[in-house]
Structure 1
């Protein structure tokens, strides 16, 4: 496996960090969203950037998944974290940011909380929800890991990301 494919599937080497390589691999989309929020970017810019990271993660897994399994000598190797990048990107998509122009709506944070702090807390909540669901792998995510190659590496994380997104969307809209 070449250097570029290795960097792609390990998210620039994050997959080699221990412990909890999946947690390290989930950080790039959360950090990206946080930086864009700090920079005052509108929701659609955040979503476009997250869609790009989602696409990169998916392409890396699908294109280099079989090679990764061969290189690391096992199915769904822990060093491969491009799937976490993709799943975490889904978990943070289309959130109703407070005080930020967003096509998915906006929310009003509690009176004693600034919009920026509220938004960063949503990113943290999305990060934690995704990690919990990715680790627990509730159905149907647990069954789809049996798929071979890149799809087997990727699909369970996409489902965990979609579950985290659904929970966060409902919670934010009901509570706020």
Structure 2
């Protein structure tokens, strides 16, 4: 069971990439995000994203204990399981690209208040910064698709 949890946490090997493991691992979230975009209602999208975040917390927490260290870079479940948040309520395929880019920007640069969450330990600590990055990306994604002509 530990090997399965670790395998899911490292994104089925994508988090072991020698180059940008977080970004490579986040790619797994694209088909999940596509699926979320096609759910029948906004409430289904929100509910699914909540479940994905709640799944991320224990997976990342257990994997952190198995691998050792605080928030090992190879753990990417937090990235790919929070990415779908960035497209809640959007239908354009371009929202996948902008959501991906915005999520990565905020996860990598960790502007306030994301940076202040880095002291939190365990699976919650690993997931919360990505969750907040995804929420900020969601807000910007909605602004982008509302105010930039031709995107929707």
TM, length-normalised to structure 1: 0.72
CA distance in 2, matches of 1:151, 1:56: 13
User: Secondary structure in 2 aligned to 1:13?
Assistant: helix
CA distance in 1, matches of 2:48, 2:7: 17
Q: CA deviation at 1:135?
A: 0.3
Counterpart of 1:55 (choices 46, 51, 65) is: 51
Q: CA deviation at 1:145?
A: 1.8
2:40 maps to 44
Counterpart of 1:131 (choices 79, 92, 104) is: 104
1:143 maps to 116
Q: CA deviation at 1:92?
A: 1.7
Alignment gaps of 5+ in structure 1: 98-118
More helix by share: 2
Alignment gaps of 5+ in structure 2: none
Structure 1 residues 175 and 66: CA distance shift in structure 2, 3 A: closer
CA distance in 1, matches of 2:51, 2:18: 25
Deviations 1:74-132 (A, max 9, x none): 1111111111013211112211x2xxxxxxxxxxxxxxxxxxxxx22221111111111
Answering whether residue 138 of structure 2 is matched by residue 165 of structure 1, we say yes
Counterpart of 1:86 (choices 54, 75, 81) is: 81
CA distance in 1, matches of 2:50, 2:21: 18
TM-align CA RMSD: 2.7
Choose 1 or 2 for highest CA Rg.
1
TM, length-normalised to structure 2: 0.82
CA distance in 2, matches of 1:58, 1:52: 10
